[in-house]
Structure 1
Amino acid sequence: MQTMQERITEWTNFLFIYKFALDEIDTKLTILNEEFQFVHQHNPIEHIKSRIKSPDSIREKLERKGLEVTVENAREHIHDIAGIRVMCSFVSDIYKIFEIISNQDDLRVLRVKDYIKNPKENGYQSLHLIVEVPVFLSNRMEKVKVEIQIRTVAMDFWASLEHKIYYKFDKTVPKHLTDQLKETAEMVKYLDEKMKRLKDELEQFKEEDTSVDDVQPLLQLL
C-alpha cells in the first residue's frame, strides 16, 4: 500500500516527463519557424501555448472512463495529458506545419483529426494530432504522447469564446447562442479564406513588381 507521500512523488515524476516532452516539441517548432522565416520570409507560427493536465483533471477523466486512478492507466488511456496549441495566420500554414511535423524522424504521428475539412457540428475548427516524442532521461528513454492542436488565430478566438460560453452555462447553452456560435464559425471560415486570397494577391504582386522594396512592408504585416 503506497503512502500519500509516495503517491505524490510518483505523480510528480510522471508529470515531469510530460513537461520535458512539451519542451522538446516547443523547441522543435521554434527552430522550424525561424528556419521557415529565413528561407521563405514568412513565419507560419504566430503563437504557441502549452499546458499539462492537472492531477484532478486526469483523475476525473480516468473515472469517466471507468478506470482506476493509476499512473499506468493515465499513461495508457489518456493521450492529451500534455497539450500544445499552435496558432497560425493562414489555413495553408496549418497544413504546412502538419507536413513538417510528419517528416520529423524523431516524431511519430499516431492520430489525426481534421476539424477544418470536417468541422464539428457546433462549428469548431482545428487540426488535432497525437504525436509520440522520445524523452531522454539520465537512465532511460521514454516515448511520450503529446496532443498538438493547430489552428488559425481567428479559429482560436472562436474556440476561446465557445469555451467561455459553455463553461458559463455548464454545457447547457441556450439554442439562440449555439446558433450564433455556428454563424460566427462560418464568418471565421470566410475571414480565413479572404485573408489567404489577400496574401496570395500580394505575393503575386511582389513577383511581378520589380520594386520589391515597396511591397515588402505589406508582406511583413502578414
Structure 2
Amino acid sequence: MTGPKILDKFELIERVSRFYNRYGSDLEQISELLKIRLTQLALAYTIKNNLPPEAIRVLTRVKSQSSFLKKLENKKWPQFYYPTDIIKDLVGARVICWFIDDCYGIKSFISSSKHIVIDKNIEDYITEPKESGYRSIHLQGSISYDAITRDIDSDEIIIGSKNMACEIQIRTKLQDAWADITHEFHYKAKNAGVDNQFYEESLSQISDRLRGEEKAILTLRNAYQKLADEKTKENKREGFQST
C-alpha cells in the first residue's frame, strides 16, 4: 500500500484556493453566527453585572486566503487535507472589554455556552504576557452550525449539524490598542527574522506600565460604584442648580 500523495508548495496553494472558492461564503456565514452567539453572551453578562451594552464589544473575521498561505509558509508548507487540520483560527473573534475583571467574567459565560465548545487548553497571556507585552486570553474551540448538503442518490437537500473550529481572543480596550500598535511593527519584524532582546524588554516595560494603569482604573471604578451605591441608598440626587 502507498500512503497519500505528498503535495508540493504549488499544489498546496491550489488546494487552498479551491477551498476558499468553494467554502468562502460559508465561512463568512459561520463568522456572522459566531458574532451573534458571542453578542448574546456579552449582553447577558452586561445585564447581570449592571453594565451598559457597549461595555463589551464583539468583532469576528474569517482568515483571508493570503493570511492562510502566509501561515502555511511559516509552518514550512505542512501537508493537510482539511484546512482545520493545521489552522484552528479560520474563523476568529475578538471580545473587547472595558475592564480586566470582565475579561474573566465573559470567559466563564462563553465556556458555559451550549453552542460554543471551548477546549481545556486556554492560553492566558493576561496572567503571563508574551515578551512583547502582548496580553489577551486565547480560547480554542468550535461553534455548531447548520450545514446544507445535497444527497447524491436522491438529490434531496439535507440539513445537518456540523462544527467549525474557531479562536476567541478576550482582552481589554488598552490591551487591544497595544496589540494593534505592536502588530504593525513588532509582529511584522518577527516574521522578517528580526529578534532584538533590548527592544523586546522595552516593549514589555511599556506594557507593564499600561497594566498598572488598568489596575488604577479598576480601583477608581470600584470607588465610584461604591459612592454611587451610597448615594442611591440615601436616596439623594444632586441637580445642576442649587435650590
So what's the TM-score if we normalise by structure 1?
0.81
Q: Structure 1 residue 118 and structure 2 residue 128: aligned?
A: yes
CA distance in 1, matches of 2:70, 2:110: 31
Task: Spell out, residue by residue over 1:135-176, the C-alpha distance to the aligned partner (whole angstroms, 9 max, x if none).
Answer: 102333220011110000000111111111225644526555
Amino acid at match of 2:87: I
Q: 1:11 offset after TM fit, Å?
A: 2.5
Amino acid at match of 1:41: N
Matched position secondary structure for 1:202:
helix
Q: Structure 1 residue 67 and structure 2 residue 81: aligned?
A: no
Q: Structure 1 residue 197 and structure 2 residue 219: aligned?
A: yes
CA distance in 1, matches of 2:202, 2:36: 38
Q: Structure 1 residue 23 and structure 2 residue 43: aligned?
A: no
Unaligned 5+ runs, structure 2: 1-10, 149-157, 239-243
Q: 1:50 offset after TM fit, Å?
A: 2.0
Amino acid at match of 1:87: I
| Identity in percent | 24
Matched position secondary structure for 1:180:
helix
Tell me which protein shows more helix as a share of its residues: 1
Partner residue in 2 for 1:186: 208
Supply the RMSD in Å over aligned alpha carbons. 2.8
Cα distance, 1:128–1:43 mapped onto 2, change above 3 Å:
farther
Deviates more, 1:173-182 or 1:199-208: 173-182
Amino acid at match of 1:23: E
Q: 1:62 offset after TM fit, Å?
A: 2.9
Q: 1:181 offset after TM fit, Å?
A: 1.4
Q: Structure 1 residue 58 and structure 2 residue 59: aligned?
A: no
CA distance in 1, matches of 2:16, 2:203: 43
Q: 1:15 offset after TM fit, Å?
A: 3.2
Partner residue in 2 for 1:208: 230
CA distance in 2, matches of 1:126, 1:143: 25
CA distance in 2, matches of 1:106, 1:34: 16
Structure possessing the higher radius of gyration over alpha carbons: 2
Residue 103 of structure 2: which of 86, 91, 94 is its match?
94
Cα distance, 1:84–1:172 mapped onto 2, change above 3 Å:
same
Deviates more, 1:171-180 or 1:42-51: 171-180
CA distance in 2, matches of 1:55, 1:155: 27
Unaligned 5+ runs, structure 1: 216-222
Partner residue in 2 for 1:219: none
Tell me, yes or no, if the aligned pair for 2:129 and 2:135 is still in contact at 8 Å.
yes
